[in-house]
Amino acid sequence: MFVLGLVATLASGKSYNNHKLIRTNVLSFEQASKLQKLEEVYDFWRPARSGLSTDIMVGPLNQKYLYNLLSNLGVEFVEVINDIGTLIEEQKVKSLGKNYQGKISFDQYYPHDDLNAYIDDLATKFDFVNTVSIGKSYEGRDMRVIQIAKAGPGAPNVWIEAGIHAREWIAPAMATYLIDSLLNNDVDNFTDTLNIHILPSTNPDGYEYSQNSDRLWRKTRSNHNSIFLCKGTDGNRNWDFHWAETGASGNKCAETYHGPEAFSEIETQNVRDYVLALEPVPVLAQCLHSYSQLWLWPFGYENGGPYPENVDEIRGLADDAVKALEAVHGTVFENINSADLYPAAGASDDWYKGVLKARFAYTVELRDTGRHGFVLPADQIKPSGEELWEAERVVLQKMVDVSSE
């Protein structure tokens, strides 16, 4: 019955049957510039930038046109995923199984309400754990933060948010893995020194929509009166730090639409208000995303732009983190400045560093490098968590060390 119901759900959602993901060769400046003009037409899973390859999803109706265009530009490419629709259907059958019933497992993806139920349960089991609502989403879903506050008032704060892009399911899953590790595998006793605040679901409306209607939905679900009925804003272009500059779009239908103004989205407002109220200012602010296997650090709003004043310690810690991560399963992450990947203004990590003044700020782009892209199978949750936790142990130890200076 479950499979039949799931098939019916899939039938009612947006179909990606016969959609392909293609990867280009490394682009020249001219090639990248011309492809960038298509970023509001096609879904670029990785933006077109000079000196890098790009991933583009293309449906059957536009495939011939795009392939001819790439050929005329001299851009070579390969098909990374032959049929995204098939991949999505396989993932839904295998990874959206039983509802949460008092115990989290790391072999499936959970809906937003289950993520909230999980952290609320933890608050009843640990006397130093609390959960709080930081506000409602646009569609009225509760945004709940878990506070692991064993260290007590005045201790250094750590802030972690996940899932601001709806289709990146591995990010909320990794938030729950880190929570589980902190409460059940904290052999380093980080929670004795640090108060850790984690928001597993930063874009609950988009996340639910991606699970029930459109697997590859990225944005929020707000309504900004698009004449084409396009909904939502890219929550990671909506922050008030170099808002609406490079790498963000004013087109309401674009995946990177920055919104009509900074903090137009209730979800980003809720996060802003919560972290600004934390005392002391978080020593670490971290964002979980996918995909590409990167450990990114600010600033990302401009190519070759200014680096943080403590860039050496930020970059050095990122280097130590990716080494620890690789030692677990051999997964290679690259440690780079965000703008070296592609400039993106109005992102949360830039705001955490530039406005909140967190000493360390990172965006972690989780598995994989494109074999599955955003449609990462659930059997990769556990190994992803195992390697991420080892990286986080290095990062959290650094937070303990610098907080005792």
* Residues with a known catalytic role: 365
Using alpha carbons only, give the angle 40, 43, 48 rounded to the nearest 5 degrees. Answer: 75
For the CA atoms of 332, 204, 281, 187, the dihedral, rounded to the nearest 10 degrees, stands at -50
Which neighbouring-strand residues pair with 227?
none
**CA-wise closest residue to 151 among 402, 401, 405, 400:** 400
How many angstroms separate the CA atoms of 241 and 159, rounded? 18
d(CA 390, CA 345): 30
